[in-house]
Structure 1
C-alpha cells in the first residue's frame, strides 16, 4: 500500500496511513486475544 504524500495532501495522507495503521493494529489485537482465549480454554480443560 502506498500513500501519495505530496505537500498539498500530506494531512490526508497522514490521516489515511494512521487509519490504516489503526485498522491493522486492531485486527492484530483481536487475533491475539482470540489466540490467548483459546490457549486459556485449553489449559483450563486439562
Structure 2
C-alpha cells in the first residue's frame, strides 16, 4: 500500500509538470505567431 501511494504521488507530480510545460509552450507559440499577448493572458487566466 505504501509503495502504491508513492508511485501515485510521483505520477501526479509528473503529470502536473507536463501540464505546466504544455501551458508554457502554448503561450510561447501564441506570442511567437505575433498576435497574441492578449489571447495568451486570457488563456492563462482561464487555465
Q: TM-score, normalised by structure 1?
A: 0.71
Which structure has the greater CA radius of gyration? 1
Moved over 2 A (4+): none
Give the number of aligned pairs: 35
Q: TM-score, normalised by structure 2?
A: 0.69
- What root-mean-square deviation, in Å, do the aligned CA atoms of Structure 1 and Structure 2 show? 1.1
Structure 1 residues without counterparts, runs of 5 or longer: 1-11
Q: Identify, as 1 or 2, the structure richer in helix.
A: 2
